[in-house]
Structure 1
Amino acid sequence: MLVQDVSRGSWNRVTEDVHHALNGEAAAKLRTLVPRQVRREAGSFFTSGGVRQSFEDLLSSHIDSSERLWFWDPTCGAGDLLLAATAHLPLGQSPAETLSLWGRRLRGQDLDDSFVGAARMRLLLTVLQRHRLEDSWAPLTERQQRNSFRHIQVGDGLEALHEAASSKRFYGHLLLNPPYGARTVGRECAWASGKTSQAAIFSSTAIDALKAGGRVVAILPDVLRSGSRYNAWRRRFEAHATVEEIAPYGLFDNHTDVDVFLISAKRKKGGHAGSVQWWPPRLANETSIGDLFHVRVGSVVDNRDPHTGIESPYLTARDLPADGEMPLPARTREFNGAKVTPPFVAIRRTSRPGQGAKGSFRGAGVLVVGNEAVAVDNHLIVASPKDGTIDKCRELIKVLGSQSSAQWLDERIRCRHLTVRVVKELPWPLEDGLF
């Protein structure tokens, strides 16, 4: 076994193996053993590569040696975030002394006992590797190895956070890369209902579990930062924590189709909301699309709304070209709800950061012209000019089809659906010559 070889001092033949064990091997094995769909449904991803380095950088920039250097990861997996934290822990005079020191300061839970075993092994390897680099290596007995890091345990991290919140709160650094899947919440959750991101639940409970002055450093899905559905989560978070830094990151890794951001925040004493810049602020006197257009989501929910009423042209995302202009759609539908009178601009709600549909820029719009009201599917966002002119719609098409607008959208929202609020906030260029 690798740990036993290193504990005996057999470094020459396993140095490379130790490096791999501490830098990405756990994540690679997870991808090999667990199908991607299963990992996605569970929302479980190991923190390796670039996102781990960004986490280490964020943690380092908001840590003070005068603070209580205790670290807790309630969803520790194979221990990547705890490994990042060990860079801030001092070494003892020997590996045995360091095990005792670190063992008191590191805490973690995971539901999978194999992950917990991997986390302990990797932390033990880190201790031995650092002592080797400091020329203070000494062998460890099998008993010392077995008894190392006993506070890294099999257990329900969310339950542990709830227990801490209701009793003696944790004062130290809470490290989080929680599950990203959804679960149903009940009446006990004041800021959400129905299916809600587990990451939102974990991070909100983590703030409750901290004493004033304790810090949470987390990797969270970007929908929490930028999605309209999580307005209440953001308000609650900023009411109880002073946000030190928010850093949008992008895709978690090349194997995980989830955009994330990193956040560092300190628990504060009071419960008063502060001022948090979750995204780039709107400049004073800046004109935006919402100043010039009525923006809303299409009214038709096709699989739910009955086919009754007047038959009308029916616009869906699949019938929309990449950009440009189109006449009234050929598809029709009976619909009694609100319709949209041309001219208007239709924008796909579903969009991926960095690209749009059919080769267009993200957020690209299509001008719809005609003389009949249109029933619009709810997978589309509609912008109707306040001045009622087709010229204003054509100006909007140019704004939405620009590189600067695509870049702004990627910085503002990295989840998979554009929102009415985001489209309204998109800046309207004022420089000469744009049109």
Structure 2
Amino acid sequence: MNRTTSSISPAQPYSAFASQVKYAVACILENGSIDSAITEKLLNGAAAEALVSYVSNELRAADGIYFTGHELSKYVASCIADRLQNGASIADPTCGAGDLLLACAATFGLGSDLLHTIRAWEKRIVACDLHDSFVEATKARLMLLAAKSHSSGKGSKNVSMSSEAPFDQVQMGDYFNNIERISQVDCVVMNPPFVSVSSPSDCKWAKGNVQLAGVILDCVITNAKDGQEIVAVLPDVLRSGTRYARWRKYISSQAEIKNISLYGRFDKNTDVDVFVIHLIKNNAANISLCGDWSNFAGHCLSDPETILMESVFRVSVGAYVPFRAKVAGKKVPYLCVSHAIPDGETEIDEKCIFDGTLHQTPFVVIRRTSNPSDPRRVIPSLITSPLQVAVENHLIVLSPIDGKLSTCKKLMKSLLRPEVDEWMNNAIRCRHLTTSVVKKLPLVDWL
């Protein structure tokens, strides 16, 4: 599969940042001088700032380009630090300006001088990116990190930033044309593009539009050599979204999942919640998780006596879709989001024309739209009458299996507990709650 990208390349404007880094390297190589403040900025923070300055928001969104921050990069590298310190090779299939590679290289040992350090590092680093200016920035920043580590400039006379420069395994190109190179290294780090694409024809887990990040990790893990460790920064929809259950099941069949860590919002400019997954390719892996990664997110209660929502309530999405409303037919009582009183009992006085599924009272509803940054994720409303109600599709309906009002009132109190929002924030960072997650919500102290 070849990735489709915008016809406008960011190579030309972003090359200005690559040139700044090259100049800083040249100052060290030529006379051994180093400006610590400028060097630190170029290695930590300036790459992302330059991305915003030189590359339009439209292009960044179209290509899903978001550079990994310093702290997140350090965390990713820490997951495989032991292997890196013992000489493991490292690859990044979508390297951007090299933040993840810099964090990994920072764990490498140094040679007797700058030249020997660079020669040792370049044998261990493999990477590619679609955009030449990003590749040039990555090479220059790796040079700058090495030069900073030998700040005296010792051994620099034999090093240059010419076309024969080091790090020749960092190349411009589409990952899907570099699969073999990436598959043979010891470890892979990646922050693949956050963008939707059409699923490839051989996709095993979905049809239609899918997250490119999921497609890339699928390809990386499928082609990885046995024992390869992969640490990936991914949009949370892959971890918690219902439609990616088959993707999770497939990934679980290909690798041992060493850890899943929730990170939260990617950065202040990117309204995407992400998680970090650490995998070890295992050709003998089995599908033990069946698409449910909740235990790794630290939110699934291990107590076998814990009562889950699905044990007490039927969980479904309201069936009434306003923009599909009919203009003629029988009118029925209707509940929409704006009329559902938060944490209280709602009297229904609206009606709509609808011949679909009605819900029998009493029941509780919660809002599907729910942002992790909201003060509360789970806000219930109690519905007690009339007998049959049409519910808008932006609400999740919780109908007591025993049909009792007392059970609904008990749930209303239970959902006020702070543990509920804490659990939900760990369970799903997407902007819409799903029935599959709500079904697994533990009802604390229910018995």
* TM-score normalised over the length of structure 1: 0.90
The one of 232, 241, 257 aligned to 2:246: 232
Instruction: Measure how far apart 1:122 and its partner are.
Output: 0.3
Is 1:98 aligned to 2:117, yes or no?
yes
Is 1:286 aligned to 2:301, yes or no?
no
C-alpha contact (below 8 Å) 2:28/2:151 kept by paired residues:
no
Q: Structure 1: give runs of 5+ residues left out of the alignment.
A: none
Instruction: Measure how far apart 1:39 and its partner are.
Output: 2.8
Percent identity for Structure 1 against Structure 2: 33
Task: Write out per-residue CA displacement over residues 98-118 of structure 1, whole angstroms, 9 at most, x where no aligned residue.
Answer: 222222211111111111111
Q: Distance in 2 between matches of 1:363 and 1:148?
A: 53
Question: Aligned AA for 2:128?
Answer: Q
Question: Against the structure 1 CA distance between its residues 235 and 26, is the aligned structure 2 distance closer, same or farther, given a 3 Å change threshold?
Answer: same
The one of 390, 395, 415 aligned to 2:410: 395
Aligned to 1:207, the other structure's residue is in SS state helix
Instruction: Measure how far apart 1:205 and its partner are.
Output: 0.8
Tell me how large the CA RMSD over aligned residues is.
2.3
The one of 141, 160, 166 aligned to 1:148: 166
Instruction: Measure how far apart 1:214 and its partner are.
Output: 0.8
Aligned to 1:294, the other structure's residue is in SS state strand
Q: Distance in 1 between matches of 2:428 and 2:274?
A: 10
Question: Aligned AA for 1:380?
Answer: L
Q: Distance in 2 between matches of 1:308 and 1:177?
A: 51
Is 1:191 aligned to 2:210, yes or no?
no
**In the alignment, what sits opposite 1:353?**
372
The one of 69, 85, 103 aligned to 1:48: 69
Instruction: Measure how far apart 1:144 and its partner are.
Output: 5.7
The one of 181, 201, 206 aligned to 2:195: 181
Is 1:130 aligned to 2:145, yes or no?
no
**In the alignment, what sits opposite 1:383?**
398
**In the alignment, what sits opposite 2:220?**
206
Q: Distance in 1 between matches of 2:230 and 2:349?
A: 51
C-alpha contact (below 8 Å) 2:366/2:378 kept by paired residues:
yes
Question: Against the structure 1 CA distance between its residues 37 and 355, is the aligned structure 2 distance closer, same or farther, given a 3 Å change threshold?
Answer: farther
Q: Distance in 1 between matches of 2:389 and 2:75?
A: 47
Instruction: Measure how far apart 1:37 and its partner are.
Output: 5.3
Is 1:11 aligned to 2:33, yes or no?
yes
Is 1:25 aligned to 2:46, yes or no?
yes
**In the alignment, what sits opposite 1:315?**
335
Q: Distance in 2 between matches of 1:164 and 1:307?
A: 60
* Residue correspondences, number: 419
Task: Write out per-residue CA displacement over residues 170-205 of structure 1, whole angstroms, 9 at most, x where no aligned residue.
Answer: 231111100111111144101111111111111111
Question: Aligned AA for 1:22?
Answer: L
C-alpha contact (below 8 Å) 1:171/1:213 kept by paired residues:
no
Task: Write out per-residue CA displacement over residues 355-414 of structure 1, whole angstroms, 9 at most, x where no aligned residue.
Answer: 25xxxx211111122124222122211001122222221221222222110111111111
Aligned to 2:127, the other structure's residue is in SS state strand
Q: Distance in 2 between matches of 1:424 and 1:37?
A: 38
Q: Distance in 2 between matches of 1:355 and 1:385?
A: 27
Question: Aligned AA for 1:34?
Answer: V
**In the alignment, what sits opposite 2:11?**
none
Question: Against the structure 1 CA distance between its residues 292 and 308, is the aligned structure 2 distance closer, same or farther, given a 3 Å change threshold?
Answer: farther
Question: Aligned AA for 2:323?
Answer: N
Aligned to 1:115, the other structure's residue is in SS state helix
Q: Distance in 2 between matches of 1:142 and 1:64?
A: 26
**In the alignment, what sits opposite 2:17?**
none
Instruction: Measure how far apart 1:226 and its partner are.
Output: 1.7
C-alpha contact (below 8 Å) 2:259/2:296 kept by paired residues:
no
**In the alignment, what sits opposite 1:410?**
425
Aligned to 1:422, the other structure's residue is in SS state helix
Task: Write out per-residue CA displacement over residues 14-57 of structure 1, whole angstroms, 9 at most, x where no aligned residue.
Answer: 22111100001001111233344543443221111332232232
C-alpha contact (below 8 Å) 1:164/1:209 kept by paired residues:
no
Task: Write out per-residue CA displacement over residues 78-100 of structure 1, whole angstroms, 9 at most, x where no aligned residue.
Answer: 00011111123332222222222
Q: Distance in 2 between matches of 1:258 and 1:157?
A: 23
Aligned to 2:322, the other structure's residue is in SS state coil
Query: Structure 1 residues 274-283 or 194-203, which shifts more?
Result: 274-283
